[in-house]
């Protein structure tokens, strides 16, 4: 099973559009997981339209019309993911996400979060935390990134994809 994992698209607030290379990866995925900060309902609808299956949460810059939960749990081929946007600065970030994951689904689940525009794949207090970065290089100095996950019989491998 192929997962497109992305966050912080910030369209149209900080980027004009979702890049074509991101859309191509979304179309190739079985499940698209977005960790929030779309910036507009139209961006969310576009991503849903090009996805086979879409799972998303609300980010801190999203308007109220983006009526998504702050936490979502999704299972893919034996792996449980807890999706949230994340909060605060880099200091303590992984610990905050790991705590939320444990509370929502236990420490065997994997956390997916955004917010800090930084690629992360690390274990915090026994919980694997993934952050795909920002798919549109939303701030000056950011690099456009996302993750492609492959789930095979309960095992997850992750590749970071960089903007072209």
Per-residue pLDDT of the chain (164 residues; tens, 9 = 90+): 999 999 999 999 999 999 999 999 999 999 999 999 999 999 999 999 999 999 999 999 999 999 999 999 999 999 999 999 999 999 999 999 999 999 999 989 999 999 999 999 999 999 999 999 999 998 888 999 999 999 999 999 999 999 97
| Global pTM value | 0.97
Domains delineated in the chain: 2-162 (3.60.21.10)
Burial status of residue 76 (CB atoms within 10 A of its CB: 0-12, 13-18, 19 or more): buried
Q: What are phi and psi of 133, to 5 degrees?
A: 80, -150
């Amino acid at each position: 099973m192929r997962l497109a994992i992305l966050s912080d698209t910030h369209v149209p607030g900080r980027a004009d559009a979702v890049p074509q290379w991101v859309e191509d990866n979304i179309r190739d995925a079985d499940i698209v997981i977005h960790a929030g900060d779309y910036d507009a309902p139209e961006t969310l609808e576009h991503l849903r339209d090009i996805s086979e299956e879409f799972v998303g949460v609300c980010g801190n810059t999203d308007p109220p019309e983006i009526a998504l939960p702050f936490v979502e749990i999704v299972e893919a081929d034996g792996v449980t993911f807890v999706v949230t946007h994340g909060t605060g600065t880099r200091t303590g970030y992984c610990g905050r996400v790991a705590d939320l994951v444990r509370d929502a689904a236990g420490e065997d689940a994997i956390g997916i979060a955004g917010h800090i525009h930084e690629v992360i794949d690390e274990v915090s207090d026994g919980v694997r935390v993934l952050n795909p970065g920002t798919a549109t290089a939303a701030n000056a100095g950011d690099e456009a990134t996302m993750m492609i996950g492959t789930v095979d019989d309960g095992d997850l491998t992750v590749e970071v994809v960089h903007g072209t």
